[in-house]
């Protein structure tokens, strides 16, 4: 690739950096588009199932604890999504949307390692660990 500013070919590091940026942007794009499609499908099923009727807030707040409105665990989320539960499908799309940046950070660690840049791979790995800790500590209620 010819650089317009210098009039000579770009070094291999610049080319691989461009490839990394494309790979990372592809992960983000695929994650957002996939989660959007899943959420839209869940909304479609919700409207198909319930029509345009929306439950009153008091019905949601006063539902018995033995019958949760939304799946509480990842296993329930996957099981209910496979059964076609619209709320679970929408929640699955939201989980995927939230997980997309974490997947991007994880992919970046591997891309830096592939490029042989251990320092940036280590820094990115620390960011990934902090990100995962925030997810799990938030789930635990801390």
| Domain segments of the chain as ranges | 21-139
The lowest-confidence range among 16-20, 64-68, 113-117, 134-138 is 64-68
26-78 pLDDT, tens per residue?
989 999 999 999 999 998 988 887 665 555 445 545 555 444 467 778 888 89
Q: Smallest Cα–Cα separation from 18: which of 33, 5, 1? A: 1
CB-based contacts of 131, cutoff 8 Å, min separation 6: 101, 102, 105
How large is the average pLDDT for residues 10-32? Answer: 76
Tell me how far apart the alpha carbons of residues 108 and 89 are, in angstroms, rounded to a whole number.
28
Has residue 6 got a pLDDT over 60? no
One-character DSSP codes across 45-61? HHHHHHTT----HHHHH
90-132 pLDDT, tens per residue?
999 999 998 998 999 999 998 889 888 899 999 999 999 999 8
Q: Smallest Cα–Cα separation from 104: which of 34, 47, 36, 24? A: 24
Tell me how far apart the alpha carbons of residues 31 and 52 are, in angstroms, rounded to a whole number.
29
How large is the average pLDDT for residues 130-141? Answer: 80
- pTM listed for this prediction: 0.68
pLDDT at 128 (0 to 100)? 94
How large is the average pLDDT for residues 11-22? Answer: 66
């Amino acid at each position: 690739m010819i650089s317009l500013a210098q009039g000579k070919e770009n070094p291999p590091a610049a080319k691989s950096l461009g490839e990394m940026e494309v790979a990372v942007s592809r992960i983000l794009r695929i994650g957002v588009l996939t989660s959007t499609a899943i959420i839209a499908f869940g909304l479609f099923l919700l409207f198909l199932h319930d029509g345009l009727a929306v439950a009153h807030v008091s019905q949601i707040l006063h539902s018995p604890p033995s019958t949760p409105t939304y799946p509480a665990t990842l296993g329930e989320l996957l099981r209910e999504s496979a059964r076609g539960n619209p709320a679970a499908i929408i929640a699955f799309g939201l989980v995927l949307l939230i997980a997309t940046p974490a997947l991007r950070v994880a992919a970046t660690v591997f891309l830096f390692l592939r490029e042989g840049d251990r320092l940036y791979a280590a820094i990115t790995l620390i960011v990934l660990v902090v990100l995962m800790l925030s997810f799990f500590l938030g789930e635990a209620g801390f």
